């Protein structure tokens, strides 16, 4: 960063400090991960200089020969990896992708239906603080108060009562598999379009270690980071019948020119995800989460739904007499980074919720496996049991330092990527 250091030493210093933080801490927020150096190089390339309103072969500006090929590669890799009819790789991130989906499938004022934010859903699934609840009549489905699982009888009853145009499955804090076939069945019963938001689990789906929504959902939205391990961007997959509406909704209705450097990074990440080693990585994410969950439950941690099927764990801290925020702060002092998170039917306010959310994508990318999960479960439990004990924090930090040094952030994930589709 020689040029940046000379041009803007303040920003350069902050970036360098963030590099150190990411190397020396164990990042367990389930929506965070590490990208390869190849993805970093693509996103930091000269492509950021180019404006490209429109789509490949139909742009409003000249000089698009290379851009068109890059976007075409990203699209072909996305449709091949996920088995989709069509892909749009231009959304700036997951929330714009979801808004484009609604624009394509519904009119302002129509009813949409998704999982409530405080039950594990996302803001853009119609939560009251999101513009999606202002533009549309948003109906929210809960999880069962005892099992914390989706109750499809409740979903069906709500759908029959409100007749939504769109039913969205997907979440940010739901630790179980999604039954996309069940959502499709309900959507068909009420004449709704079945939509799957796979932002968190896209990498698991691409690797065939999570149920696949593509055969069931008319439209699938996703971010391109998280478990998919790409740059911060968005993507929409859909059946051919929705392709034109989706493309028009993204551009020109909601966006101008795409971020070409991000599109290139997405293309690189999709190529990496087609390599055989990506399947091993994704399977290890789930194994690591299961082992970590088992270790935490052995120390009397109350896991929402009693465990996990995927990459994330949601924990109710109330039996530890500790707020989620206080638990997250104590863990971060030892270099373990999780996030405070509301739990279903949380009696506490969102800014100081009862839960924490953690996951294994980043740790798995660094090469950690079952043994390290057991070590971390013990360290985390010790800290939560004594959040103000400096000796406990110091002992935990020592273990974190050793793990971070033993499992550095890799620059490349796959040797065979050049042969991947």
**DSSP bridge pairs for 234:** 223
Which residue in 32, 41, 51, 151 is the catalytic one?
51
Residue 141 is a catalytic residue: no
The closest of 201, 185, 192 to 164, measured between CA atoms, is 192
Residue 50 is a catalytic residue: no
Which residue in 23, 232, 239, 333 is the catalytic one?
232
Q: Rounded distance, CA 73 to CA 70, Å?
A: 5
Residue 77 is a catalytic residue: no
- Burial (CB < 10 A; 0-12, 13-18, 19+), residue 203, is buried
Residue 51 is a catalytic residue: yes
Cβ atoms of 36 and 365 closer than 8 Å: no
> Which helix H or strand E contains 375, and what residues bound it?
helix 370-385
Cβ atoms of 37 and 411 closer than 8 Å: yes
Which residue in 32, 53, 332, 401 is the catalytic one?
53
Q: Rounded distance, CA 233 to CA 91, Å?
A: 7
**Residues in contact with 134: Cβ distance below 8 Å, sequence separation at least 6, in sequence order:** none
The closest of 117, 108, 164 to 136, measured between CA atoms, is 108
Q: Rounded distance, CA 295 to CA 216, Å?
A: 35
Which residue in 226, 320, 325, 357 is the catalytic one?
226
Cβ atoms of 228 and 205 closer than 8 Å: no
Residue 226 is a catalytic residue: yes
Give the full edge-to-edge strand order of the sheet including 137-141.
86-88, 234-238, 219-223, 193-197, 166-169, 111-115, 137-141
Token digits for 134? 């202002």
Residue carrying structure tokens 């990074």: 265
Residue carrying structure tokens 């109350």: 302
Token digits for 249? 């909704």
Which residue in 111, 172, 222, 223 is the catalytic one?
223
Which residues have a catalytic role annotated?
A: 51, 53, 197, 223, 226, 232
């Amino acid at each position: 960063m020689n040029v940046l250091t000379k041009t803007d030493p303040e920003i350069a210093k902050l970036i360098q400090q963030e590099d150190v933080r990411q190397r020396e801490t164990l990042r367990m927020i389930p929506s965070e991960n590490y990208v390869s150096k190849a993805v970093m190089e693509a996103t930091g390339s000269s492509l950021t200089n180019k404006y490209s309103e429109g789509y490949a072969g139909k742009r409003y500006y000249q000089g698009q020969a290379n851009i068109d090929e890059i976007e075409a590669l990203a699209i072909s890799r996305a449709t091949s990896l996920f088995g989709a009819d069509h892909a749009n790789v231009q959304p700036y991130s997951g929330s714009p992708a979801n808004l484009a989906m609604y624009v394509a499938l519904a009119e302002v004022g129509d009813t949409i239906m998704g999982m409530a934010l405080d039950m594990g859903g996302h803001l853009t699934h119609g939560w009251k603080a999101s513009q999606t609840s202002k533009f549309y009549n948003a109906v929210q489905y809960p999880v069962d108060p005892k099992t914390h699982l989706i109750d499809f009888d409740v979903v069906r009853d709500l759908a029959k009562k409100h007749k939504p145009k769109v039913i969205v499955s997907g979440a940010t804090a739901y630790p179980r598999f999604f039954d996309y076939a069940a959502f499709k069945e309900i959507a068909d019963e009420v004449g709704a379009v079945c939509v799957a938001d796979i932002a968190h689990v896209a990498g698991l789906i691409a690797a065939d270690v999570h149920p696949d929504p593509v055969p069931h959902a008319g439209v699938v939205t996703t971010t391109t980071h998280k478990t998919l391990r790409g740059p911060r961007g968005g993507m929409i997959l859909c059946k051919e019948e929705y392709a034109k509406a989706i493309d028009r909704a993204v551009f020109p209705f909601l966006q101008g020119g795409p971020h070409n450097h991000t599109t290139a990074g997405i293309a690189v990440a999709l190529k990496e995800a087609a390599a055989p080693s990506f399947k091993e990585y994704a399977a290890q994410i789930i194994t690591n989460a299961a082992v970590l969950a088992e270790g935490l439950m052995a120390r009397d941690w109350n896991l929402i739904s009693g465990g996990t099927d995927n990459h994330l764990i949601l924990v109710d801290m109330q039996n530890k007499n500790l707020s989620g925020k206080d638990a997250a702060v104590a863990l971060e002092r030892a270099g373990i980074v999780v996030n405070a998170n509301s739990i279903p039917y949380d009696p506490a306010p969102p800014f100081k919720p009862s839960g924490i959310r953690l996951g294994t994508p980043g740790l798995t990318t660094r090469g950690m496996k079952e043994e390290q999960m057991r070590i971390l479960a013990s360290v985390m439990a010790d800290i939560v049991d004594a959040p103000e004990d400096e000796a406990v924090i110091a002992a935990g930090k020592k273990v974190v330092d050793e793990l971070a040094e033993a499992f550095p952030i890799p620059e490349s994930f796959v040797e065979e990527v050049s042969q991947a589709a």
